[in-house]
Structures are given as structure tokens and as C-alpha cells.
Amino acid sequence: MQSYGDESRPLATLSLPSRIVIGTAASGIAVAVLIHLAMMFLHIAPSNTLSKQQAGLINDYVYPEYEQNWKLFAPNPLQQNTDVQVRAQLRTQDGAARTTGWTDLTARDGQAILHNPLPSHTQQNQLRRGWELLSNNLDAQSRPTGERGESFARYLRRIVMLRMSGEWTKGGDRVEQVQIRSRTTSVLPPPWSAEKISDQPVYRVLPWWPITANDLPEGATNK
């Protein structure tokens, strides 16, 4: 009895060009996975000769997207809520300058994942990790320090422009500068605790940053 409509085709029945394409793609994926696993292993493994020699390469690959963060399991978990807020200086079509109000990007992320059983990694961590990495590389005047600080500042500017440029420029305005600040509030103790903690927010305001073409990620515009 002969069956028809069998869609399964063994690899051996494919043409030679098809087998070459599939083999090349599979090899490329395998190599990429191995490289990723090796980089992550060297990043989280105890310091060794190889990780010291290739520290720059490993850090460039890991930061900021793949950094491992174990603060949830620390003896003293985070007890503060930090919101990242942004505003811009715009140049209107008639040449006038205006400054927008503050927009709370963290609150928007929170609203996006509210009641979402499967929120994306970007919604949960992109902005938060970008701010944490930058804030750890700021001097006393809240200016980026070193190459890593400049890299993190550029990364955060791109996040801001990707999320806000369409909203800021929809009337034909052009973004000239952006300013970022954090708003940190302490998590209040439970009612039965005698601990006294201030509920007043603390702000950390960064200087104005001019926006250039290098700060525009794919998909963002600055008319």
C-alpha cells in the first residue's frame, strides 16, 4: 500500500545545495552557541589566566546585555525602588527652544508588564540594568568615567531615543539635548516593624547630554 502526502523528507533526499545551506546554517548556529557559552562561563567563573588575558574581550561581549545579577539572593536584598526619568530640550520648526516635562520610563515599563504572565527581558531589565551600570561609573559631578562609563552613557541615550524620539519629534521638533535623572524611594518596612525609614524620594540628576547621530539606534529619528 502506497501512502501519499508524506511531508517528511530525510536529509539525504534533499539536493546538494540544500544540504550545504542547512549544514552551513547548523554549523554557524553551533559555533555561535559555543562562543556564547564560553564567554558566559569565563565571565562567571573564578578568575583564571584566560579570563584575565581576555578580560577586555569578555567584558565587551557580556556588558550590558548579558551581565549576571545575583542581588536577589544577597544577604541584604535591594530595599529601594529606583525610577529612571527623562526630559528633552527641543528645537521647534520655527527655531524656538522648549523643554519637555519629565517622563518616567520605569513607570511605563511597569505598566507594560502589569498582568503580563510572560513579560519580555527588554521590558523587565533593559532600562534598569542600563541605569545601574551607568550609575556605577559616574564621578562626583554625575559624569561618566572612563571608556566603560562613556559606553554605558551612550547605551542609555540610545534607549531613551529609541523610546521617546517618536513622541518628541512627532510635531516636527528636533531633539537637541536630553537629561536623565533617577528617583529613588525606600521600600517601607511592614506595619509590625519598629524601623523608621524616610518615604521622601531622592533624586540624582545627570547633566544635559547633546544628541548626535551616534545616539540614534535603528528605528529612531531626530528630525
* Per-residue pLDDT, 209: 95
Q: How many CB atoms lie within 10 A of CB 58?
A: 19
Q: Give the span between the Cα atoms of 105 and 158, in whole angstroms.
A: 13
Q: pLDDT digits over 91-144, tens only?
A: 998 999 999 999 999 999 999 898 888 888 778 889 998 999 999 999 999 999
| Domain residue spans of the chain | 16-62, 79-215
> What is the overall mean pLDDT for the chain?
85
3-state helix, strand, coil in the chain (%, to 5): 45, 15, 40
